[in-house]
Amino acid sequence: DAGVTQSPTHLIKTRGQQVTLRCSPISGHKSVSWYQQVLGQGPQFIFQYYEKEERGRGNFPDRFSARQFPNYSSELNVNALLLGDSALYLCASSLWYSGANVLTFGAGSRLTVL
Amino acid sequence: DQQVKQNSPSLSVQEGRISILNCDYTNSMFDYFLWYKKYPAEGPTFLISISSIKDKNEDGRFTVFLNKSAKHLSLHIVPSQPGDSAVYFCAASDGNNDMRFGAGTRLTVKP
């Protein structure tokens, strides 16, 4: 059974460009969360979606947006890229969106902004 | 706001000895705590968790201890093995949808 899959694995963009990252959750998982991990820090919460609805949003600017599709896959979009957006973007899926919830992470998409 | 803190960026132990990784938190609303392990080029993988109604949870070589009054939890690995070498993240949840992570501790187990 496939785990959480993310694409692309690596990408390089320049300042001002836009990027779209994709995530497919574990089969049966209806919740998808996005995290940003900057070098030397722990993952920081960006968004959570459950049943195609946004259930939570972290302290990130409006340049960051996401959506979830009917098959529960998800996309994270970042507009007007800044150098500080360079990070590993992790997608995680789970059965529920709250409570004693274990997140299963993908391997991440490493974004470099030049 | 650093609600979950791992103050030791790295830890080195000898194979067969005990590894103790520590984590402190500030938010008294956290009621569920987890440890994740991360190898290079992989996402974090779930290791063990504990609810705030317990003070200890054990799974094989891994034991997590929770001291609510001190807002402190620790992960014990006994005996440590070279394959345990990884970055360990402490995470906490208050029942809402955003899990808070510490900065991680890099564990190196020497043969």
Q: What is the mean pLDDT of each run of 10 residues along chain B (111 residues)?
A: 91 98 95 95 94 96 97 98 97 87 97 92
**Binding-face residues of B in 30-89 toward A, CB within 8 A:** 32, 34, 36, 41-46, 49, 51, 89
* A56:B98 CB<8 A: yes
- Residues 6 or more apart whose CB falls under 8 angstroms from that of B48 comprise B34, B35, B57, B59, B62, B63, B64, B75
Taking only the tens of pLDDT, chain A with its 114 residues reads 679 999 999 999 999 999 999 999 999 899 999 999 998 899 999 999 999 999 999 999 999 999 999 999 999 999 999 999 999 999 999 987 777 789 999 999 999 999
Residue A85: per-residue pLDDT: 98
The DSSP symbol for B96 reads S
Q: A43: which chain B residues are within 8 Å (Cβ-Cβ)?
A: 44, 89, 101
| Residues linked to residue A110 through DSSP beta bridges, in sequence order | A10, A88
Helices H / strands E in chain A, number of each = 0, 11
Q: A49: which chain B residues are within 8 Å (Cβ-Cβ)?
A: none
Looking at the complex, does the CB of residue B93 fall below 8 Å from at least one CB of chain A?
yes
Choose the closest CB to A42 out of B43, B95, B104. Answer: B104
Residue B61 is encoded by which pair of tokens?
Answer: 């070589």
Interface test with A, best of B50, B97, B101, B106 (most A CBs within 10 A): B97
Residue A1: per-residue pLDDT: 61
Chain B residue closest in CA terms to A48: B97
Q: B30: which chain A residues are within 8 Å (Cβ-Cβ)?
A: none
Chain B residue closest in CA terms to A106: B43
Residue B1: per-residue pLDDT: 66
